Amino acid sequence: MKCPRCGNEMNLDSHRKYALQMCYECGYIEGRKVEGQGGESNFAHMKGLNFNEMAAFLSAGLGLDEEKLVYWLYDRVKD
């Protein structure tokens, strides 16, 4: 796999909890945004969501039933 930032070969870095491809030349790690690319990370996207949007986003991403997730989250929020 080639690095999208500098074009050098990427190596498997298994010193983390999850093994990721990493470029030892420029320090790019698989899954990070390359400078100049548009869009935002999932975390930045989730910060801007309201309760219902967050429940829909999480249920779609995790493959959960949205009604059960809303019930579980709402039960945690009102405590």
- What single string gives the DSSP state of each residue in 21-77? EE-TTT--BTTSPPTT--S--HHHHHHT--HHHHHHHHHHHHT--HHHHHHHHHHHH
For the chain, what are the domain ranges?
Answer: 1-36, 40-79
Claim: this prediction has a pTM higher than 0.75: no
How many other C-beta atoms are found inside a 10 Å radius of the C-beta of residue 5? 16
Across the chain, which has 79 residues, the per-10-residue mean pLDDT values are 81 80 82 62 76 82 85 74
- Do 55 and 69 touch, CB atoms closer than 8 A? yes
Rounded to the nearest angstrom, the gap between the alpha carbon of residue 55 and the centroid of all alpha carbons in its chain is 16
Rounded to the nearest angstrom, the gap between the alpha carbon of residue 31 and the centroid of all alpha carbons in its chain is 8
Residue 3 has a pLDDT of: 81
